[in-house]
Homo-oligomer: A and B are copies of this chain.
Amino acid sequence: VTGGLTLLAVEGVGPIGQGDDVAARLLAALATGGLMLCDGDVLCVVSKVISKAEGRFVDLSAVVPSERALALAEAVGKEPELVEVVLSDSAAVSRAAPGVLITRHRLGHVCANAGVDRSNARPAGAPADSGPWALLLPSDPDASARALRAALEAASGAQIGVVITDSLGRPFREGSVGHALGVAGLPALGDQRGDPDLDGRTLEHTVTALADQVAAAADLVAGQAAEGRAAVIVRGLSWAPDPAASSAALRRPADRDLYA
């Protein structure tokens, strides 16, 4: 359909363990699902898959909280070991209140608990008496996206974009929404400037968070399966490949943070 968009779930990518080749797993899952990557497709991959392949697991029972983590844990009512892990992956605390710890992650994202995930965070083969476990965000989601794009383009022959996604909360709104943590090929921002309106005014609201919107759309598909779907193809989007694309364009710099 002209002007339409199709989102296709890629089933059966997981479970992923430390050291697994995510590109190879994606290619196998695409083949099993009878899906072929086409020119212009954007493949969205949930960050958890990348984190697990990178072995970003933390056994909280082995964490020794700092004085700062102990004090902050008391203030927000969270486990000191978790707060220590959050602080170790953060550049600054944005807001702390009972039940809430929002930080500026070292990658620049402002989000709850530095994106640390407590669900299904146990590594395969971990002893039964280990943990509880937590999973950190990938160490460099843009680099992960670039590596996946290169491997998948080489294997498929298609020119694609890759977005590493995570579901994050928002400061003024309830509920989580898919966000782009890493991008490759697909420009992070979409620019609709340039066309004057009927009054001759330049159009406003014209820079869209293209990759965030793609991630939010993909989360509608990824989030609706009981076991989750680790990847979603977004097909039909109009975009021009940018070899220098980076998720950094989506993050408002700390010195422009109006809510610091």
Residues in A lying within 8 Å of B, measured CB to CB: 1-9, 11, 95, 97, 100, 102, 109-110, 117-122, 131-133, 167, 169-179, 188-190, 192, 195, 197-199, 201-205, 207-210, 212-214, 216-217, 219-221, 223-226, 229, 237-238, 249-252, 257-259
Contacts and interface: CB of A to CB of B under 8 A. Distances in A.
19 contacts: A2-B9, A3-B11, A4-B9, A5-B6, A5-B220, A110-B172, A120-B199, A122-B199, A170-B170, A171-B172, A171-B252, A173-B209, A174-B249, A174-B251, A208-B219, A212-B216, A216-B217, A217-B217, A220-B237
Contacts of A190: 175, 223
Nearest to A3: B9
A119 B221 contact: no
A119 B226 CA distance: 43
Nearest 8 Cβ contacts at the A-B interface: A175-B209, A217-B217, A3-B9, A216-B216, A110-B172, A5-B7, A120-B197, A259-B259
Given A171-B252, A173-B212, 18 more contacts: A4-B7, A5-B221, A95-B258, A97-B258, A110-B172, A133-B199, A167-B208, A171-B171, A172-B252, A172-B259, A173-B250, A174-B207, A175-B209, A175-B250, A208-B223, A214-B220, A216-B216, A224-B238
A223 B212 CA distance: 14
**How many identical chains are in the complex?**
2
A179 B209 CA distance: 12
A115 to B, nearest CB: 10
A179 B173 CA distance: 10
Which of A4, A110, A216 is the most central at the interface, judged by chain B CB atoms within 10 Å of its CB?
A: A216
